[in-house]
Amino acid sequence: MPKLQQLKSLRFMAETALSRQGIRHYKRPEISPVATFKNYPAAPRVVLPRNWTLKEARLSPLLQNRRSRRSFSTEPLSLKSLAYMLWAGQGITASAGNHRLRTSPSAGALYPIETYISAREIDELPAGIYHFNVAEFELELLVPGSHADELALACLNQQFLAQAAAVFIWTSVYRRNACKYGDRGLRYVFTDVGHICQNVLLAAEATGSNGCPVAAFFDDELNQLIGVDGKEESAIYLAGVGARPENKED
């Protein structure tokens, strides 16, 4: 086992640390920027519903009751619940200048995180791998059919993921914030995705659904499954969600 101070991750944190001295000489890296919104123009589209009706969803009970729950009902999850979770994670809520602000904060309003959905058992939504088009609030179908088993395998064979009604797969388009922050941008990718995931998990709680975050996965297998190259864009985090089984807490 390496000593703590020899870990590459600690070296990376040290190398990207900001200091009062260093910030005076900071220059933007020579990395060309890239569009904030990704879409797949040729993909068949599903316009997401916005007419969810939740009982009054006060924050404290949601925070108190949220748990990582890894069992799911055999009943499908409604498209409304999935749409609410997508909105909670990254829905556009305001505009400020050129920025379209969202439910989750993002360093520099650069929004490097993309969301893909592996849908298995959602009412009114054929199984498939979808990309979430944030700007249009639509799902774009990339690959039809359930890929739940391959997905679970890519996640170190965590079988509960194969039973999830849907799995959120979050990727990072590094260039979006690397063009401003350089190496330090990687730190913000992970803080951004944490905000998004927590919002989704609280939205799962608000809709009476179960959810569990997942960061253990084989990078190449997961990237391949959703069709990203692992360089410009790569998977960094997931969450399985599904309807809550009756009389079962976990």
Ligand X SMILES: Cc1cc2nc3c(=O)[nH]c(=O)nc-3n(C[C@H](O)[C@H](O)[C@H](O)COP(=O)(O)O)c2cc1C
Site of interaction with ligand X (CB under 6 A): 67-68, 70, 158, 212-216
Name which of 4 and 216 has its Cβ closer to ligand X: 216
Residue 148: CB minimum distance to ligand X, A: 16
- Cα–Cα distance for residue pair 160/19, rounded to 1 Å: 44
Contact 88, 197 (CB under 8 A): no
Nearer to ligand X, 48 or 196 (CB): 196
The sign of the dihedral angle between the CA atoms of 73, 74, 75, 79 is positive
Q: Which is nearer to ligand X, 86 or 222 (CB)?
A: 222
Choose between 44 and 105: whose C-beta lies nearer to ligand X.
105
CA distance to 220, 222, 229, 232, per residue, from 216 (Å): 12, 11, 19, 21
Structure tokens that stand for 101 in this block: 């602000």
- In the complex with ligand X, the residue whose CB is nearer, 124 or 250, is 250
Instruction: Find, among 127, 118, 124, 137, the residue nearest to 227 by Cα.
Output: 118
Q: Smallest gap, in angstroms, from Cβ of residue 157 to ligand X?
A: 11
3-class DSSP state for residue 162?
A: helix
Q: How many residues does the structure list for the chain?
A: 250
Which of 133, 158 has the CB closer to ligand X? 158
Nearer to ligand X, 35 or 215 (CB): 215
CB of 212 to ligand X, least distance (A): 5
CA–CA separation, 190 and 240 (whole Å): 18
Cβ at position 244, least distance to ligand X in Å: 14
| Best CA proximity match to 89, nearest among 202, 226, 188 | 202
Q: Least distance from C-beta 47 to ligand X, angstroms?
A: 32
Closest C-alpha to 147, from 128, 160, 130, 163: 128
The CB-of-170 to ligand X minimum distance in angstroms stands at: 11
Dihedral (CA of 122, 124, 127, 131) sign: negative
Q: How far apart are CA 220 and CA 58, in angstroms?
A: 40
Min separation Cβ 147 and ligand X, Å: 18
